[in-house]
């Protein structure tokens, strides 16, 4: 039985992606923050997929030793991780000076440092066995500077650049190990916008907004087809092709409108 480890797998797109892996016979490992949510998500998933095999670790992944502790948990249980999905992250919204610095430091620890350390720890084992896949969840905010999401967008740029560089290194090494980068657009129906205090921001109902089901389907299909970059959402894919041809000032003007708060 193959095994997938998904950080933040008990909610949002992590949970939706889990469904595809469980339906396809993977053993599921989750590492997330909230014990109650993990318990409830496990119960819910096993109601729809009764033979889903799920283990979880309740852990704050923004802490410096969290990646090592998560890695040790898999080693101690002799679980060979075939697919690692670095999905846990949160966002902040507003003018940089108005956002708590502690909160953004914690966000950088989770979105960047934890993802980096998890990737390093599991990549080493995968390379030794010459098999395995790491799927890193970035965002459409990684494509350009994003005022009012400056630090969050920067964390997602790190994820995209780092992951795509690794993909190229692995190709050069002729390794069978894969690193996949996923860039979803704004997702209407996950807790993300509430955590980031963005409930009123127009982008979640905007032109390229997507749903967790669409993102999860794109991730699964991309994984099966051996894609290394998954731009999730048909509308975002079209817009992304166009964006490179538009002047920077116009892109920023459109972005400012997308990130305004509505009524
Ligand atoms: N929603 C969007 O518009 C959007 C767009 C592009 C990319 N993304 C990316 O998609 C990914 C998933 O987001 P989502 O939309 O599905 O939102 P979400 O449901 O809020 O997912 C975030 C997950 O991360 C976990 N998490 C947060 N802080 C944690 C911590 N300190 N330690 C351990 N786990 C922690 C949460 O676990 P708990 O529930 O247990 O707290 C949750 O399961 C993120 O990487 C996000 O940046 C989202």
Concatenated DSSP letters of the chain: --EEEEETTTSHHHHHHHHHHHHTT-EEEEEES-HHHHHHHHHHHHHHSTT--EEEEE--TTSTTHHHHHHHHHHHTT---SEEEE-------S-GGGS-HHHHHHHHIIIIIIHHHHHHHHHHHHHHHT--EEEEE--GGGSS--TTSHHHHHHHHHHHHHHHHHHHHHHHTT-S-EEEEEEE--BTTSTHHHHTT-TTBGGGGSTT-B-HHHHHHHHHHHHHHT-SEEEESHHHHHHHHHHTTS-HHHHHHHHHHHTSB--
Position 237 pLDDT exceeds 80: no
Both structure tokens of 144: 């350009």
Sorted by sequence, the CB contacts under 8 Å of residue 202 that are 6+ apart come out as 257, 258, 259, 260, 261, 262
Å from CA of 89 to ligand 1 middle: 4
Widest distance between CA atoms in the chain:
54
- Ligand 1 atom 16: residue of nearest CA: 12
Write out pLDDT tens, residues 148-171: 999 999 999 999 999 999 999 999
To the nearest whole number, what is the mean pLDDT of the chain?
Answer: 95
Q: Is 88 in the pocket of ligand 1 (CB under 6 A)?
A: yes
Q: Is 183 in the pocket of ligand 1 (CB under 6 A)?
A: no
Q: Residue 176: pLDDT band by 50, 70, 90 thresholds?
A: very high
Q: Is 115 in the pocket of ligand 1 (CB under 6 A)?
A: no
Cβ distance 4 to 30 under 8 Å? no
Ligand 1 atom nearest 88 alpha carbon: 24
pLDDT score for 42: 98
Å from CA of 191 to ligand 1 middle: 8
Mutate to test the pocket of ligand 1, among 30, 142, 190 (most ligand atoms within 8 A of CB): 190
Q: Is 60 in the pocket of ligand 1 (CB under 6 A)?
A: yes
Separation CA 143–CA 243 (nearest Å): 9
Å from CA of 74 to ligand 1 middle: 21
Which has more confidence, 239 or 163?
Answer: 163
Q: Is 195 in the pocket of ligand 1 (CB under 6 A)?
A: yes
End-to-end CA distance of the chain: 50
Nearest partner of 161 among 229, 90, 257, judged by Cα: 229
CATH code for the part of the protein at 3-258: 3.40.50.720
pLDDT score for 243: 73
Write out pLDDT tens, residues 69-80: 999 999 999 999
Cβ distance 28 to 54 under 8 Å? yes
């Amino acid at each position: 039985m193959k095994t997938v480890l998904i950080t933040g797998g008990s909610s949002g797109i992590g949970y939706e992606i889990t469904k595809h892996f469980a339906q396809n016979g993977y053993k599921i490992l989750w590492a997330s923050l909230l014990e109650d949510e993990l318990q409830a998500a496990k119960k819910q998933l096993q109601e729809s997929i009764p033979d889903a095999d799920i283990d979880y670790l309740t852990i704050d992944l923004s802490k410096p030793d969290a990646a090592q502790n998560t890695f040790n948990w898999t080693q101690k249980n002799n679980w060979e991780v075939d697919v690692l999905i670095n999905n846990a992250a949160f966002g902040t919204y507003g003018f940089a000076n108005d956002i708590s610095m502690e909160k953004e430091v914690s966000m950088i620890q989770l979105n960047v440092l934890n993802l980096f350390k998890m990737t390093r720890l599991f990549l080493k084992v995968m390379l030794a066995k010459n098999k395995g896949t790491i799927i890193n969840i970035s965002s459409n905010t990684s494509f350009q500077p994003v005022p009012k999401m400056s630090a969050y967008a920067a964390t997602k740029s790190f994820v995209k650049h780092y992951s795509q560089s690794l993909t190229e290194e692995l190709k050069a090494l002729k390794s069978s190990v894969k690193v996949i980068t996923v860039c979803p657009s704004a997702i209407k129906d996950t807790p993300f916008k509430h955590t980031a205090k963005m409930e009123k921001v127009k982008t979640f109902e905007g032109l390229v907004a997507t749903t967790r089901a669409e993102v999860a389907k794109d991730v699964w299909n991309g994984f099966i087809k051996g894609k290394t970059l998954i731009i999730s959402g048909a509308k975002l894919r079209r817009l992304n092709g166009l964006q490179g041809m538009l002047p920077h000032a116009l892109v920023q003007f459109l972005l400012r409108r997308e990130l305004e708060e509505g009524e």
